[in-house]
Chain A
Amino acid sequence: DSGVTQTPKHLITATGQRVTLRCSPRSGDLSVYWYQQSLDQGLQFLIQYYNGEERAKGNILERFSAQQFPDLHSELNLSSLELGDSALYFCASSVAGDYYNEQFFGPGTRLTVL
């Protein structure tokens, strides 16, 4: 158990819908990352937050948005869902947000878009 929690564990929804994934980092960690894992794209970085501020951005779609709240939990919002958005979404956290910090992954949310 990494100490990172994610809810829900599974999510099944229809195309065109909007969903919110939630992540709580390990106690003491200030930085949160979101990753998407699919069979064809592999494990891809989406976005990073540090103490409430966006720090780094990957190839995150405009239909996706995220934020980190004052209590440091983070939410990833996915809207106008398409079949291709079906994937495992992982949240990770680290003490700070630098290249020398280990990142610890949560158990993931499996999103299925029908």
Chain B
Amino acid sequence: QQPVQSPQAVILREGEDAVINCSSSKALYSVHWYRQKHGEAPVFLMILLKGGEQKGHEKISASFNEKKQQSSLYLTASQLSYSGTYFCGSVNLNAGGTSYGKLTFGQGTILTVHP
């Protein structure tokens, strides 16, 4: 079952902040965040791991609440280049006890930044 993202869309002025949430109904091993511009490939932003480790861009911040099975992406002082669709991808524990790298993506959050 895919994670649920909220909000579905956000419109900002340059310099404003935004938070995008990602919620899973299954136990999470990791959450991966990507940004995709129209017609282009998803670009890796950040990965948050069970246990608290994070890897990703220095200018991006995110949180991971294992108990609530939720993650949030924080975009501060937004720039025009932040516009795009943001996806969270979850890696859940499989029935066989393995997780590997199978990412289940949310439906996406469309972020538009205006001058």
Could you tell me which A residues sit within 8 Å of B by CB distance?
A: 2, 31, 33, 35, 42-45, 48, 50, 55-56, 58, 90, 94, 97-108
If over half of A's interface residues share one DSSP class (helix, strand or loop), that class is named, otherwise mixed; here it is strand
Is the C-beta of B30 less than 8 angstroms from some C-beta in chain A?
Answer: yes
Query: A34–B41 Cα gap in the complex (Å)?
Result: 13
Q: Is the CB of B41 within 8 A of A45?
A: no
CA distance A70 to B37 in the complex (A): 33
Partner of A56, one of B43, B44, B101, B108: B101
B-side interface size class: 20 to 34
Give residues in B with beta carbon < 8 Å to A: 2, 29-30, 32, 34, 40-44, 47, 49, 53, 55-56, 87, 89, 91, 94, 98-108
- Residue of B47, B53, B102, B105 near A42 (CB, 8 A) is B105
Contact indicator A99/B29 (Cβ below 8 Å): yes
Residues on the A chain within 8 Å of B106, using CB? 42
- Shortest CB–CB separation between residue A32 and chain B, in angstroms? 10
Are A104 and B49 also in contact (CB < 8 A) when A43-B105, A45-B104 are? no
